Amino acid sequence: MNRPDPQTPAHHHNRRAWDALVRENQRFTRPAPDEDFLDPLAKMDGVGWLGGDIRGQNVLCLASGGGKHGALYAAAGARVTVVDISPAMLELDRQVAAERKLDVRTVEASMDHMPMFADGEFDLVVHPVSTCYVPKIAPVYQEVARVVRDAGLYISQHKQPGSLQADVTPARRGYELVEPYFREGPLPAVVGSQHREEGTLEFLHRWDELLGLMCRAGFVIEDLVEPKHGRADAAVGSFAHRSHFVPPYVRVKARKRGSVSPGRRIQLIAP
């Protein structure tokens, strides 16, 4: 299906914002360090969702520019394509790939519009935190469902809505919810938050959008984890302290439903 390009002013804003974050050498724009390449798959898949071997798999690293995800999956033996909206983030992927002699294809595109890819082209789509940068999440899931093959995996990480609602600075008894859960438009600009990226436009997606829309796009959720960043003894107001009250992220393992033969269906529920 040929869908119209859904790019909005927020897309253009975030492209410029991420290019600027690269120029400022901010976090998430730094390539993977040498030690991550000792066991690249273990680094990227600490939970063990990928079965310990992705050699030869066709992997889409979605909204993954920055010289980390693409390089590590390629070092683990996958055939890697990195998609990102920011040319500067993709340039980092090309630099790292050249330095480490890895084969990484880079494509400048928005995660909700990837007409350059064929239906079912990828075995696996990995998608680090970035759905917060698009106003609507349904077109993203529809595109991922289209480009991943039947029974292929979609591993994604998202900002939890509660974390986007909670104040950056602590109140007397914890972190107050200062943003409504049901809201329209981007979140207010933030300064000094380790949970948000300054200069970007971010959107809160509710649980019924994060998970319900994923299911409705054609995925079955097989597992879900909340990566632990909190520490009870952390300094009040620090990233680790706030994360002890409000988990910042959720990671989801989903598999594309497909028209499967009875034999394959058994494989789907008992991988």
Ligand X SMILES: C[S@@+](CC[C@H](N)C(=O)[O-])C[C@H]1O[C@@H](n2cnc3c(N)ncnc32)[C@H](O)[C@@H]1O
Alpha-carbon gap, residue 120 to 176, rounded angstroms: 44
65 is a contact residue toward ligand X (CB under 6 A):
yes
Tokens for 100, please give them: 């480490």
Give all strands (DSSP E) within 9-48, no chain letters.
none
**Within a 13 Å sphere around the CA of 18, how many CA atoms are in the beta-carbon half?**
27
Q: Which of 20, 129, 190, 268 binds ligand X (CB under 6 A)?
A: 129
Q: How far is the CB of 260 from ligand X (least distance, A)?
A: 30
Nearer of residues 111 and 164 to ligand X, judged by Cβ: 111
Residue with nearest beta carbon to ligand X: 66
Map residues 221-260 to x or -, x wherever contact with ligand X holds by CB under 6 A.
----------------------------------------
Residue 240 near residue 230, CB atoms below 8 Å: yes
Tokens for 46, please give them: 């600490």
Q: Report the alpha-carbon angle 255-121-129, nearest 5.
A: 55
Alpha-carbon gap, residue 167 to 132, rounded angstroms: 17
Alpha-carbon gap, residue 147 to 123, rounded angstroms: 9
Q: Which of 45, 57, 59, 68 binds ligand X (CB under 6 A)?
A: 68
66 is a contact residue toward ligand X (CB under 6 A):
yes
Piece of the chain touching ligand X by CB under 6 A; list 47-55, 124-132, 175-183, 205-213:
124-132
40 is a contact residue toward ligand X (CB under 6 A):
no
28 is a contact residue toward ligand X (CB under 6 A):
yes
Burial class (CB in 10 A: 0-12, 13-18, 19+), 110: buried
Residue 61 near residue 83, CB atoms below 8 Å: yes
Q: Which of 50, 54, 58, 64 binds ligand X (CB under 6 A)?
A: 64
Nearer of residues 105 and 257 to ligand X, judged by Cβ: 105
Q: How far is the CB of 67 from ligand X (least distance, A)?
A: 7
Positions in the binding site for ligand X (CB under 6 A): 11, 14, 18, 28, 63-66, 68, 84-86, 89, 110-111, 128-130, 133-134
